[in-house]
Amino acid sequence: MKKNNIILIGFMGVGKGTVARALVKKSNMFAIDTDDLIESMENRRIKKIFEVEGEPYFRNLEKKAALWLEKSVFDTIISTGGGFYKQENINKIGKVVYLKSSFQGILDRINNAPNAENKLKKRPLLQNMEEALKLYNLRAKEYEKVAKIIVDVENKDIKDIVKEIL
Ligand code: S3P
């Protein structure tokens, strides 16, 4: 049976959640966010999980979520945490779409949001901008390798992004 899922990957703050919500409005699909899923699995925030248990523990939860998504989820737009693209089975979950933007474009998007401070605070890997840029440079190539479809989202209207993906 065809799974019919779309998986959105990309760097922190690029707008995976926003695009997922807009896609759901224009389709008959459902929506799941892997960070939300993990927070409900654990009944605590990502920030807390990183603080108390450390990153490897969090990555293991992502793996658990990935196995469940592959087995049990259909007709769904899946937005993911910025590191979820590393899951070995990601291409078995659905069609992987990379939302691409420059690092500066992502920072501008975050800084222009009404809740910019919270967007930064809740992301443990976005505390030190030098480190975040290093991570961006490392991952930018990897996202492209994993994705089946690449969508440039920088300075684009959400309506056009949705049209392009659908
Ligand atoms: C992470 C991105 C976060 C979250 C966690 C780790 C990453 O999700 O999964 O803080 O490794 O890039 P967003 O991409 O939604 O910020």
With 0.95 as the threshold, say if the pTM is over it.
yes
Residue 158 lies in a domain: yes
The domain of 30 spans: 6-164
What digits encode the pLDDT tens for the residues 80-132? 999 999 999 999 999 999 999 999 999 999 999 999 999 999 999 999 999 99
Tokens of 84: 């979820």
Residue 74 lies in a domain: yes
At 37, which CATH number? 3.40.50.300
Residue 27 lies in a domain: yes
Percent of the chain beyond pLDDT 70? 99
Residue 52 lies in a domain: yes
Ligand 1 atom at shortest distance from the alpha carbon of 10: 14
Distance 127 CA to ligand 1 centre (A): 12
With a 6 Å cutoff on the Cβ, whether 15 touches ligand 1 is: no
**Count: domains in the chain:** 1
Residue 75 lies in a domain: yes
What is the C-alpha radius of gyration for the chain, rounded to an integer number of angstroms?
15
Residue 1 lies in a domain: no
Tokens of 119: 């967007």
**Confidence (pLDDT) at 66:** 98
The answer to the question of whether 94 is labelled as a binding residue is: no
Residue 141 lies in a domain: yes
- Please answer whether residues 81 and 9 qualify as being in contact, where contact means their C-beta atoms are separated by less than 8 angstroms: no
The answer to the question of whether 82 is labelled as a binding residue is: yes
